[in-house]
A = this chain, B = another copy of it.
């Protein structure tokens, strides 16, 4: 799997911008999770990456918004530090009920 970081810059002062952020978030969390308001960590196969990219490009307004997709170093947890509020949940860890 490829670990990606997707950062999405959109003006959330307009309802159209907030709607686009919601739709981009929906596309991303189907493959991973939101770690900050407009930052997502996803894990995908090569084929899923193609589909994900297409979906993101459909949702964004290229004249207004900015999307950056970074291929992260693996294993991801070795190359990221988080300070303050941390929304990240290790989805591979056993779920204790």
Question: Which A residues contact B (CB, under 8 angstroms)?
Answer: 5, 7, 9, 35-37, 39, 53, 56-57, 60-73, 79-87
Chain B residues closer than 8 Å to A57, beta-carbon distance: 83
A70/B80 in contact, CB under 8 A? yes
Closest chain B CB from A17 CB (angstroms): 12
A interface: dominant SS: strand
A84/B63 in contact, CB under 8 A? yes
Our pick among B53, B66, B72 for the contact of A85 (Cβ within 8 Å) is B66
In the complex, the 6 A-B pairs of residues with the closest C-beta atoms, listed nearest first: A9-B36, A62-B84, A71-B79, A66-B85, A67-B83, A69-B81
Closest chain B CB from A53 CB (angstroms): 8
